[in-house]
Amino acid sequence: MKMQSRKWLKRKLREIQSLESYSIHRTVESVAKQFGIAAAEVVKLNYNENFFIPQEKFKEILKEIAEEWDPRVYPQEEEYKLKEKLANYLNVPKDFIVVGNGSDELIERSARLFLKKKDHVLSIKPTFPIYKYCISHLGAKYGEVPLKKDFGLNTKEILAMTTPKTRILYLCSPNNPTANQFGISEIQTLAEKFPGIVIVDEAYVEYAEYSVVPLLEEFENLIVLRTFSKAFGLAGLRLGYVATDPNLAKVLSEKTPQPYSVSSITLRMGLKLLEKISMIKEAVGQLKVEREKLIEELNETKGVKAFSSQTNFVLFQTKRKSEKVYQDLLRRGIIIKNLGKILHLNNCLRTTVGLAHMNARLLKTLEETLSGKND
């Protein structure tokens, strides 16, 4: 009996190890150590984090929370109060709101609740890879519809690829890594004609022109994902939420096997940031200004083509091999994201929109790299 258990375990481990995983890639500490650079000199521009809210502001809020918070007690009213604030923020009823341990956890939760093995899921290509990872771990079938050359949605192909087993459509809008926002009429068409649940990931929507949240009144199959990791600068505390039809919200809220999935300190931080929404809007406005400057200066750099953005990052192309550019920047203490080929475009890279001095260093080093001064 023990031998059979071990054989099963070995088979299961091989099966699990064959699944794709989401790697963290390069960290400030690993780059500093590898290239002999002080950690303070490394510029981190690879994960679309928000540096426009000063760290001191978060420290002040954490001090306030520490005075109020009892770590010995499970979360109590914090989630209810946060849902009320989020409902006001989005202008929807509070029974539309579900809170989770980051939007990634909510992506996984929705997939686990609404999918079974051999169900079909659709998304676009390229897009945020977490959707594919979650689906592969559940044993469902994941299909991808490439974006058009202008990064637009191919709605006809998406609908043509649906089958009687297609349950979920994931759309990241604004999309990572292309940084463009899809038309609200296109999403409306898909919500109307797609036979399953349409999940629109609006992680970057505060940096864009509009939200699809108003469509929730019309479509009971629409789920809108949001996060505190981007515009609210809370990447390190993991706080996400969903706005959706009350029937879907009830299932997502109540049928999770993880009670207290979000810590009380994180819930309190989210609440306090919503109470300081003017600070968030000011930071978003500052980033948008820097974003346009960065795009303009990238396009003025010889051998670079940057694309417009509705997010807090910029996609750009280089004439030189993107892996070479990435490595040259890395050894000089600048971490961005090497994407390689995106659709028909070769040598693509992605950079977070950093503070002015961070962007200036990226631009200077990039120019030197492309001119051969680093060789």
pLDDT digit string, tens, across residues 190-244? 999 999 999 999 999 999 999 999 999 999 999 999 999 999 999 999 999 999 9
DSSP state of 262: S
Q: Which residue shows structure tokens 């049928």? A: 255
Rounded to whole angstroms, how far apart are CA atoms 258 and 235? Answer: 21
Q: Which of 290, 307, 311 is nearest to 172 (CA)?
A: 311
Q: Which of 243, 209, 238 is nearest to 226 (CA)?
A: 243
- What is the value of pTM for the model shown? 0.93
**Average pLDDT over the chain, rounded to an integer:** 93
The mean-pLDDT minimum among 52-61, 66-75, 299-308, 344-353 falls in 66-75
Domains of the chain: which residue ranges?
22-51+279-371, 55-275
Q: What is the pLDDT of residue 257?
A: 67
Query: Could you write out the DSSP letters of every residue in 93-147?
Result: -GGGEEEESHHHHHHHHHHHHH--TT-EEEEEES--THHHHHHHHHT-EEEEEEP
Per residue in 335-347, pLDDT tens? 999 999 999 999 9
311's tokens: 């997010």
Between the CA atoms of 19, 22, 28 and 30, what dihedral angle is there, to the nearest 10 degrees?
Answer: 0
- C-alpha to C-alpha distances, 307 to 85, 151, 152, 190, nearest whole angstrom: 35, 10, 13, 26
Beta bridge partners of 222: 198
pLDDT at 76 over 90: no
Q: What is the pLDDT of residue 1?
A: 44
The mean-pLDDT minimum among 17-26, 153-162, 251-260 falls in 17-26
What homologous superfamily does CATH list for 22-51+279-371?
Answer: Aspartate Aminotransferase, domain 1 (3.90.1150.10)
Contacts within 8 Å (CB) and 24+ apart, 70-73 = 71/264, 71/265, 73/264
**Domain 55-275: assigned CATH number:** 3.40.640.10
Q: Which of 108, 123, 115 is nearest to 190 (CA)?
A: 123
pLDDT interval class at 188 (50, 70, 90): very high
Q: What is the pLDDT of residue 359?
A: 98
Per residue in 25-57, pLDDT tens? 788 999 989 999 999 999 999 999 999 999 999
pLDDT at 292 over 90: yes
pLDDT interval class at 138 (50, 70, 90): confident
State the average pLDDT over residues 166-173: 97
